[in-house]
Amino acid sequence: MGRQLSFVATKTTQWGRPDALVEPIGNSLTRSDTEWEGPVPEGTKEICAREAQHPIDEPRKHLTVVCLDEEGKRKSQHVPFIVESK
């Protein structure tokens, strides 16, 4: 889709992500973005996953991401969560 998926947030003002979860979240974002055909804000060059940890019994329906343009302007968006097929 012409975007670079290069970020997984490791810390916000509200939570921190253990290093062990960075790769799984990144893989989920890549898979979900690759299979999803929905729009992102015009000019999006990079997408950062900022999804917080969910309770184990809460089904995940989307990933919360931040879309960044060339000027660093940010816009939050939900990308449907695609479960890895076995």
Mean per-residue pLDDT, 37-52 = 81
Global model pTM greater than 0.85: no
Residue 85 lies in a domain: no
Q: Indicate if the pLDDT at residue 54 is higher than 70.
A: no
Q: How much is the mean pLDDT over the chain? A: 75
State residue 1's pLDDT score.
46
Range of the domain at 50: 4-80
Residue 27 lies in a domain: yes
State residue 73's pLDDT score.
92
Buried b (16+ CB within 10 A) or exposed e, 44-72: bebbbbbbeeeeeeeeeeebebbbbeeee
Give the model's confidence band at 5: pLDDT under 50 very low, under 70 low, under 90 confident, else very high. Answer: low
Who has greater pLDDT, 67 or 30? 67
Residue 86 lies in a domain: no
Q: How many domains does the chain have?
A: 1
Residue 25 lies in a domain: yes
Residue 70 lies in a domain: yes
